[in-house]
Amino acid sequence: MIGRKAPPGRRRIPWGVYLVLLPTFAALAVFAYYPALSGMLHSLYEWRPGFASPFVGLENYVTMLGDDLWWASFRNIGIIFVWAVTLMWVFPLLAAELVMSLSSERLRFVFRTLLILPLAFPAVVNVLLWQFMYDPRDGVVNSLLRAVGLDGLASNWIGDPDTALTALMTVGFPWVASLPFLVFLSALQNVPAEIYQAAEVDGAGRLRRLWSIDLPMMLRDVKLLLVMAVIAVLQYGMQAHIMTKGGPDNATQVPVLRMLDAAFLDTDWGYAAALGTVLFVLTLVVSVGALLAGRKGGRNARA
């Protein structure tokens, strides 16, 4: 880091810096560190805000082990995760490859802009519009099916436990307006032109190029996206809350909604704090694990 380099021997401590940092750390102490620590601490209590809260040890965590809804919610985000890193990456990858294979700079710009334009809309609008798309009577999906004579296929997509989760995951199709697309695209732009030329000389086809050049070049970014997908999926909740509230019949239950229900419906604040703590620990394990793996990988690559 470029610091102010004082000659050794007569370095003075710039006391002013602590004064500068004081308000920042004071604010973070109250509104960031305290809540995080308070959540972990109170997960060991029967937390009744405003009243006496008896210490119960690990009881909340024991309750969690037997909480079928909690485990069902993990099954659901497991499915969402697999979907998020396969189908939801294939389309962005395809789009990025196609954009890069366009010959004119202007066409690339036009398509890139059109493809990412949905990102300019608030996420909540996207979800509400898809909620409308699935409307059993007036929604786009069923209207389209009826228009092409497939009336029999029309169904209550988010009201039916069998289709609700799939419908939820299909929100935003084809998912090109997304971070993965931006990442894939900039990764492809960074592949040196000489490598492609060399591949062409060797007679490598399009698929071979994708497999042997593009994907290895993206590996680092893909790892990062993978970690971000895990973290995002652990926090998944807004779409489910708007469209299904975790229903029908808990078919779209996710950990965040389970945690909120524990606090605000069952007023079991200690249990909610325990669930939040578990989500934190999982996030931490994934982040730190990725950090260590990345560091190790980087060292090997350099060696």
Partner 1 sequence: MLVREKARAAEPTAGPVAGRAAKVWMTRTRRTDLMAGAVLSVLAFAGLFPYLFMLAASVKDNEQFYESYWAPAWPIRLGNYAVAWEQVSPYLFTSFVVAGFAIVGTLALASAAAFVFARYRFPGRNLLFGLVAALLMVPAVTSLIPLFVLMRDLDILDTRLVLIIPHITGNTVFGIVIMRTYMAQIPEEIFEAARVDGAGGIRMFVSLMMPLARPVVGTVALVTVLGVWNDYFWPLLTVQTDEFRTIPAGLAFFANQNVQQWGPLFAGYTLASLPLLLMFTFLSKWFLAGIQGGIVSGK
SS3 state at 33: helix
Beta-carbon contacts of 96 under 8 Å, excluding residues fewer than 6 positions away, are: 181, 184, 185, 188
* Cβ 266 to partner 1 shortest distance, Å: 12
- Pick 59 or 261: Cβ nearer partner 1: 261
The residue among 11, 18, 25 whose CA lies nearest residue 3 is: 11
* Cβ 206 to partner 1 shortest distance, Å: 9
Decide if residue 129 touches partner 1 (CB under 8 A).
yes
* Cβ 248 to partner 1 shortest distance, Å: 18
Q: Do residues 213 and 196 touch, judged by C-beta distance below 8 A?
A: yes
* Cβ 75 to partner 1 shortest distance, Å: 18
- Pick 6 or 162: Cβ nearer partner 1: 6
- Report the residue from 166, 228, 248, 261 that binds partner 1 according to the rule CB under 8 A: 228
- 188, two tokens: 């492809």
- Pick 162 or 206: Cβ nearer partner 1: 206
CA 241: distance to chain centroid? 16
Count of residues touching partner 1 (by CB under 8 A): 103
The residue among 237, 41, 241, 215 whose CA lies nearest residue 158 is: 241
Question: CA-to-CA distance for 205 and 201, rounded, in angstroms?
Answer: 10
Question: What does each C-alpha distance from 29 to 15, 24, 38, 42, 270 come to in angstroms?
Answer: 21, 9, 11, 17, 22
Q: Do residues 255 and 231 touch, judged by C-beta distance below 8 A?
A: no
Q: Do residues 148 and 207 touch, judged by C-beta distance below 8 A?
A: no
Question: What does each C-alpha distance from 271 to 42, 48, 60, 189, 279 come to in angstroms?
Answer: 9, 11, 5, 48, 13
Beta bridge partners of residue 45, listed in sequence order? 55
List the end-to-end C-alpha distance of the chain, in Å, as a whole number.
23
- Pick 96 or 251: Cβ nearer partner 1: 96
| Amino acid identity for residue 65 in this structure | L
**Interacting span for partner 1 (CB under 8 A) from 82-90, 148-156, 208-216, 226-234:** 226-234
Residue list 139-158, contact with partner 1 (CB under 8 A): 140, 143, 147
Residue list 187-216, contact with partner 1 (CB under 8 A): 193, 197, 200-201
- Report the residue from 224, 226, 248, 261 that binds partner 1 according to the rule CB under 8 A: 224
Decide if residue 293 touches partner 1 (CB under 8 A).
no
- Pick 82 or 179: Cβ nearer partner 1: 179
Residue list 21-50, contact with partner 1 (CB under 8 A): 21, 23-25, 27-28, 30-36, 38-39, 42, 47, 49-50
* Cβ 176 to partner 1 shortest distance, Å: 5
**Interacting span for partner 1 (CB under 8 A) from 63-71, 80-88, 159-167, 274-282:** 274-282
Residue list 87-116, contact with partner 1 (CB under 8 A): 91, 94-95, 98-99, 101-104, 107, 111, 114-116
x/- track of binding to partner 1 for residues 51-90 (CB under 8 A): ----------------------------------------
- Pick 95 or 165: Cβ nearer partner 1: 95
To the nearest 10 degrees (0 to 180), the angle between helices 87-101 and 179-189 is 40
- 240, two tokens: 């489910």
